[in-house]
Amino acid sequence: MLKRNPQHSGVLSGYGQSYVRKGDLERTLDDFARAHHQSEHGRCAQLHRADRENSGRTPPEVHLSHAEKPNPLPALVPITPQDGARMRVLVTGGLGFIGTHTVKALLLRGHEARVLDNLDPQIHTDDGARRRLDPRVECIIGDVRNPDDVALALRDIDAVVHLAALTGVGQSMYEMRHYIDVNCSGTATLLDGIVRQGIRSRRFVLASSRAVYGEGAYACDQHGEIRVTKRDPVVLARGVFAPRCPACGAPVHAVPTREDVLPQAASVYALTKLQQEQQVGLAADTLGLPAVVLRYFNVYGSQQSLSNPYTGIATIFFARARAGRAIELYEGGEPSRDFVHVSDVVAANIAALEISHVPKANAAATTATFNVGSGVSTSVRRLAEVLSAAAGQAAPLVTTTMYRRGDVYACYADTTSARRALGFTARVSLEEGMREFVRWAASQRCGDHSERGAAELSRLGLLTNAIVPALVGDPQ
């Protein structure tokens, strides 16, 4: 058993719960990440050269200032768990953004890792993610919907982190069948496989999303905390984006969203994440699967797919800034989100795997379900400003009255339950995290694919411009 780190408040005792700040131990995740970054940077430079030589074209030069020193990001302690605590963990979607970081952290913690990933071409333009994988990691290129691939992947596995999914909110509205197939059938296939092999899984961690809430929690001065309904398309079309109190019509403000807020999926993607939660919840209740559901908020950081035009606001804004294009702020840039750095999300994944008992989020919840967010509400405009500052170049921000169907106006996390049960607290500020993201993204080769994604959504009527811009005090 590891001992509590006495220097750090908010740390649980028991194995697997000790997070320390950089400097507390000789080798930290930070050092690990830096070494990885350097080797990757080297490889990238080679790719750039090879590309220039082959094509005769020069990729756009990037002039982004970033500090020479690594960011003082918090770190997981590298440990070697005693035999009883060591787990062989299957990470589905382990070649993706969050998966890559999770696999590294598992190794650092002394666990074994196996990956099941189909290298979805929308995320992966080549098999670089597989080539970069630590040789200690077993990698199965296969599909989470394929029972044979799943059976192979589950062999002798102690715990599962289920990340494999399609993640585009807008895209899910016209690729419904595909999203339901991958996200829902994929989860069902995985659960079938676990049941067939006998539930030897010591833990099953599901990557869910804040999307299940739809609009987050709001408060009205007169009526206190309220739940707003889905935004009315007619009202949106008039350029009135901020929700109002359903009881009195007064303006409302966002407050932290707890796990017991009634889910109100606003997109097919959200529906699939809710369905995944329900499948896993049922398996936990009826079959005793020791499951923990983590609702990630908006995750950002290095290794995020720069080629996927449908997800990742930070990657989309970065690509536009790098291409010298203006950053378009939909809905006036006023909508807000909870941006959480990937290192914090990984810490939550590891905690959910390593805690000795599956905790309850609250008395009402049957499945252990926790928000994984920063707990901070940040407007999209502010995000663009922080990103520009981190990149060292002020990209022009263009305020528009464009809006996407299926988007919500505001949602940020109440992390009280995650803190109590998992010892989880997000530690990376937006400024620190954005510097880490920009430093990595600047070393990558990528074009701006955002217009392709926007054009597709526009063609299908999923991205539209409000006809009448909002007037101050416009009644709903």
Ligand X SMILES: NC(=O)c1ccc[n+]([C@@H]2O[C@H](COP(=O)([O-])OP(=O)(O)OC[C@H]3O[C@@H](n4cnc5c(N)ncnc54)[C@H](O)[C@@H]3O)[C@@H](O)[C@H]2O)c1
Which residues are known catalytic residues? 269
Task: Find the shortest distance in angstroms from Cβ 185 to ligand X.
Answer: 9
Backbone angles phi, psi at 208, to 5 degrees: -100, -165
**C-alpha pair distances (Å), 102 with each of 8, 89, 233, 259:** 23, 10, 39, 23
Interaction between residue 353 and ligand X (CB under 6 A): no
Scanning residues 305 to 334, which ones bind ligand X (CB under 6 A)?
305
Contact residue for ligand X among 11, 44, 119, 219 (CB under 6 A): 119
Contact residue for ligand X among 173, 182, 190, 346 (CB under 6 A): 182
Q: Is 449 helix (H, G, I), strand (E, B) or coil?
A: coil
Residue number with the shortest CB distance to ligand X? 96
Cα–Cα distance measured from residue 269 to residue 207, given in angstroms and rounded to the nearest whole number: 13
Decide: 283 and 191 in contact? Cβ < 8 Å. yes
- Name the residue among 177, 159, 68 with its Cα closest to residue 355: 159
Contact residue for ligand X among 30, 120, 414, 436 (CB under 6 A): 120
Task: Find the shortest distance in angstroms from Cβ 224 to Zn ion.
Answer: 8
Interaction between residue 220 and Zn ion (CB under 5 A): yes
Q: Is 298 helix (H, G, I), strand (E, B) or coil?
A: strand
Contact residue for ligand X among 204, 213, 296, 317 (CB under 6 A): 296
- Residue 19 binds which of ligand X, Zn ion, none (CB < 5-8 A, kind-dependent): none
CA–chain centroid gap for 428, Å, is: 14
Q: Binding string, 187-216, against ligand X, x = CB under 6 A?
A: --------------------x-x-------
Contact residue for ligand X among 12, 90, 91, 123 (CB under 6 A): 123
Q: Which stretch binds Zn ion (CB under 5 A): 44-52, 89-97, 239-247, 337-345?
A: 239-247
| Residues ≥6 apart with Cβ < 8 Å to 285 | 366, 367
For ligand X, which is the closer residue by CB, 145 or 449? 145
Cα–Cα distance measured from residue 183 to residue 176, given in angstroms and rounded to the nearest whole number: 10
Task: Find the shortest distance in angstroms from Cβ 208 to ligand X.
Answer: 7
Decide: 104 and 343 in contact? Cβ < 8 Å. no
- Residue 245 binds which of ligand X, Zn ion, none (CB < 5-8 A, kind-dependent): Zn ion
- Name the residue among 340, 327, 321, 299 with its Cα closest to residue 446: 321
Cα–Cα distance measured from residue 210 to residue 355, given in angstroms and rounded to the nearest whole number: 23
Structure token digits, residue 239: 């350029």
Interaction between residue 227 and Zn ion (CB under 5 A): no
Expressed in angstroms, the distance from the first to the final Cα of the chain is: 58
The one-character DSSP state at 143 is -
For ligand X, which is the closer residue by CB, 143 or 277? 143
Q: Which residue has the tokens 């080769």?
A: 445
Task: Find the shortest distance in angstroms from Cβ 76 to ligand X.
Answer: 18
The one-character DSSP state at 360 is P
Interaction between residue 248 and Zn ion (CB under 5 A): yes
Please list, residue by residue across 209-223, b when 16 or more beta carbons sit within 10 angstroms of its beta carbon and e when fewer do: bbbbbbbbbbebeee
Interaction between residue 29 and ligand X (CB under 6 A): no
Interaction between residue 245 and Zn ion (CB under 5 A): yes
For ligand X, which is the closer residue by CB, 341 or 435? 341
- Residue 404 binds which of Zn ion, ligand X, none (CB < 5-8 A, kind-dependent): none
Q: Is 212 helix (H, G, I), strand (E, B) or coil?
A: helix
Q: Give the number of residues in contact with Zn ion, rule: CB under 5 A.
A: 7
Interaction between residue 223 and Zn ion (CB under 5 A): yes
Task: Find the shortest distance in angstroms from Cβ 21 to ligand X.
Answer: 25
Scanning residues 345 to 404, which ones bind Zn ion (CB under 5 A)?
none
What sign does the dihedral 244-249-255-259 (CA atoms) show?
Answer: negative
By the criterion CB under 6 A, which residues form the site for ligand X? 92-93, 95-99, 116-120, 123-124, 143-145, 163-165, 167, 182, 186, 207, 209, 296, 298-299, 305
Which residues sit at the interface with Zn ion, rule CB under 5 A? Answer: 220, 222-223, 245, 247-248, 250
